[in-house]
Amino acid sequence: MLEYLLAEKNFAALKQYVKFLQDLPPALQEMTEFSKSFERQGHTMLSPPNIQSLRLAAQANGACWLAIQEATPLLGSNSARVLLEVFGFIEEFQATVSNADNRREAIDTIDPRQFSLVRSPVWGNAPAASIIDVLREMDRRLEQYRGTVLNFKTQVTSLAESIHSIFVRFIECLTMPICSCDEPVAKIEVYYGLGKMGLPGTTYVPGRLYSQEERIALSKEHVEFLFNLRRRAASAANNLSDFCFRMTWMLDEAQQMLRSHYPTMTMARAKSTLPMLKVPLDDVQSMSDQLVKMTRL
């Protein structure tokens, strides 16, 4: 379901974006030195790339990317565990009610200790005085997992914010003139004219002699490369954010269903309502499977 939201290309695009920023400092240093030299010659400089913000973004995004890589397998395994517990309980509950002498009795009369989940070591010290306690504990575990998904989304959102603000301004800056006193020539073309720097991931070879026509062609090609990188990285971040939103929405729906059960609800009524949790949780299961698959790539 919605495989495109967690497609491998999304991770590849974000990885490339993060690596680009991490590999950018040598080029930024050349830009800084040239701008200072150009200004000392009496040129009225236009705003250069924000070196400090780009460096900070590289550090922050590197940390975000590491957190995303570490969180992905945990999200998959944690979801699989929680869903196995919930689905197992629902199946046992259905069997218990089917064998009950009077299904009009309240669910609060069912002994929770007969369920495998309650007797298992993973139950720990959670309350189990009634079926409602069991339902509340499952709700708590789903909420805990929901919090993990939201933390994952926070990392993705941080990446997206830098793409939409810092990185796009860097690209636009490279297309603007370097000063206001000479013929308007894009900064990237002037930088390439120095022969000392090239942008990470591009075909420019520092130290090689290029004609003016070649520099113009390469600068346009590489600006397009940057815009394409920005588009793919932004799309990837948006898709992952949508993935998290969809997952939390499904978890919310399941939790609301759990919370709708009450002690005096009849066994017959609960037997018909509890299985409805499987509808949103089946979607969560599908998305969890995608997460597990991503860890194997």
Model confidence at 113: pLDDT above 90: yes
- Contact by Cβ (8 Å): 251, 145: yes
Q: What pLDDT is recorded for position 33?
A: 87
Model confidence at 297: pLDDT above 70: no
5 or 172, higher pLDDT: 172
Q: pLDDT band at residue 193, thresholds of 50, 70 and 90? A: confident
pLDDT tens string 138-190: 999 999 999 999 999 999 999 999 999 999 999 999 999 988 887 788 899 88
Token pair in block for residue 50 = 């924000």
Q: How far apart are CA 247 and CA 282, in angstroms?
A: 11
Q: What pLDDT is recorded for position 89?
A: 97
- Of the CA atoms within 13 Å of residue 290, those in its CB half-sphere come to 20
- pTM of this prediction exceeds 0.75: yes
Query: Which residues lie across from 186 on neighbouring strands?
Result: 177
pLDDT tens string 73-111: 888 889 999 999 999 999 999 999 999 999 999 999 999
Cβ-based neighbour number of residue 235 at 10 Å: 15
